[in-house]
Amino acid sequence: MLEAVKRAGWALRYASDRLKSDYDFIEKCVTLDGLALEFAAEDIQNDYHITREAIREDSMCLEYCKQEYKDDKNLVMTAVDVDGRCLEFAKGALKSDTLVALKAIRNNGYGCRDPRVMEVIKKTGVASIISVFDGYNPPPGRLPKNK
| DSSP secondary structure, 7-65, as one string | H-GGGGGGS-HHHHT-HHHHHHHHHH-GGGGGGS-HHHHT-HHHHHHHHHH-GGGGGGS
Each residue of 16-42: pLDDT tens digit? 999 999 999 999 999 999 999 999 999
pLDDT at 75: 94
pTM recorded for the entire structure: 0.72
Query: Domain check: are 111 and 60 in the same one?
Result: no
- In the predicted structure, residue 54 carries a pLDDT above the cut 90: yes
Instruction: Note whether residue 78 is domain-resident.
Output: no
Domain count, the chain: 2
Of 63, 60, 66, which is closest to residue 81 (Cα–Cα)?
Answer: 60
pLDDT, averaged across the chain: 80
pLDDT at 8: 85
Q: Rounded to whole angstroms, how far apart are CA atoms 37 and 125?
A: 38
81, burial (CB in 10 Å: exposed 0-12, middle 13-18, buried 19+): middle
Residue-range definition of the domain harbouring residue 88 = 84-147
Each residue of 107-136: pLDDT tens digit? 776 555 666 666 766 666 555 444 444 444
pLDDT at 49: 95
Instruction: Note whether residue 75 is domain-resident.
Output: no
pLDDT at 88: 85
Q: Which residues contact 74 (CB under 8 A, 6 or more apart)?
A: none
Instruction: Note whether residue 145 is domain-resident.
Output: yes
Query: Domain check: are 17 and 49 in the same one?
Result: yes
Indicate the residue among 31, 65, 99 that finishes a domain: 65
**Confidence band, pLDDT 50/70/90 cuts, at residue 44:** very high
Q: How many residues does the chain have?
A: 147
Q: Rounded to whole angstroms, how far apart are CA atoms 43 and 73?
A: 21
Mean pLDDT of 77-106: 85
pLDDT at 122: 67
pLDDT at 110: 57
Query: Domain check: are 98 and 132 in the same one?
Result: yes
